[in-house]
């Protein structure tokens, strides 16, 4: 198993995911990478900790409908 090269436009899947909780509406990327959407503003934050504790947060700007 390997991750896409740096600078590629794909979201890497959640490795060893136990499955999503239906009560929490998250859009998890599972089983295979997915191309990033090209519309809208996107931000990605990687956090690396000691002992293999890592987290990635992907944020996208949305339009508020009034």
- DSSP assignments along the chain, one per residue: --PPPTT-SEEPP-TT-----TTS------SS-EEPPSSS-EEEEEEE-GGG-EEEEEEE--PPP-
pLDDT more than 90, % of the chain: 0
Whole-model pTM: value is 0.34
**Predicted local distance difference test score (pLDDT) of residue 41:** 78
pLDDT in tens, 13-45: 566 666 677 887 877 777 777 777 666 677 888
Does 61 have pLDDT greater than 80? no
User: Sorting pLDDT into bands at 50, 70 and 90, what band is 50?
Assistant: confident
Two tokens, residue 49:
């900790």
Q: To the nearest 10°, the Cα dihedral for 63, 10, 48, 17?
A: 90
């Amino acid at each position: 198993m390997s991750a896409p090269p740096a600078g590629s436009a794909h979201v890497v899947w959640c490795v060893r995911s136990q499955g999503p909780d239906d009560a929490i509406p998250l859009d998890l990327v599972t089983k295979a990478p997915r191309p990033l959407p090209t519309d809208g503003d996107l931000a990605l934050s990687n956090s690396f900790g000691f002992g293999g504790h890592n987290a990635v947060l992907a944020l996208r700007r949305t339009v508020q409908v009034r």
